[in-house]
Amino acid sequence: MNVSLIRQFLQYGTVGLCALGVDVCTFTVMRAMNADMVSANVLARFAGAVTAFTGNFLWTFSQPPQWTGCLHSVWRYAAIWVAATLTSTLLLSTLTAWGLPETESKIGVEMFMPILNFFVARRWVFKSQHSSKIGGMHGCDSK
């Protein structure tokens, strides 16, 4: 088994748990402030996404902290975020329409999403345009 892949997946999971905490807390606070469910979910997912992108960019996928040439990772991450947010909102709306509690449904939905997102992030979002580098994960080099 690839030790590097396992380490990277564990780092991704750690960042994901932090992002999940930010996401669920934001959702819960927004709902307590009487925000509608869809708006609360989108804002919460955005807060979690900022947390996740930063952690994965700097730690999980070891991107150098240079912003020159990083736009492709940001745009790719945004595209994945939009697709995941639409999926999350649809699933959350469905589960709550079936009578399941909001916060528990939110946690369940958000725990489902990272598995697919890890492989998309690893292979597409943070992948190098120059695949000859170690691991192909240096997508934000200034070259």
SS (H, E, C) 4-65: HHHHHHHHHHHHHHHHHHHHHHHHHHHHHCCCCHHHHHHHHHHHHHHHHHHHHHHHHCCCCC
The rounded distance, in Å, linking the Cα atoms of 70 and 49 is 16
The verdict on pTM exceeding 0.95 is: no
Whether residue 141 is contained in a domain is answered as: no
What is the structure's pLDDT at 57? 82
What is the structure's pLDDT at 33? 97
Whether residue 103 is contained in a domain is answered as: yes
Whether residue 120 is contained in a domain is answered as: yes
What is the structure's pLDDT at 97? 96
How many separate domains does the chain show?
1
Question: Residue 25 sits in which domain range?
Answer: 3-136
Q: Looking at the chain, how many residues does it have?
A: 143
What is the structure's pLDDT at 100? 96
Whether residue 142 is contained in a domain is answered as: no
Whether residue 46 is contained in a domain is answered as: yes
Whether residue 143 is contained in a domain is answered as: no
In the chain (143 residues long), the average pLDDT of successive 10-residue segments reads 84 91 94 95 92 86 64 82 89 95 89 79 68 42 42
Residue 126 exposed, middle or buried by CB count within 10 Å (0-12, 13-18, 19+): buried
Structure tokens at 58: 């700097």
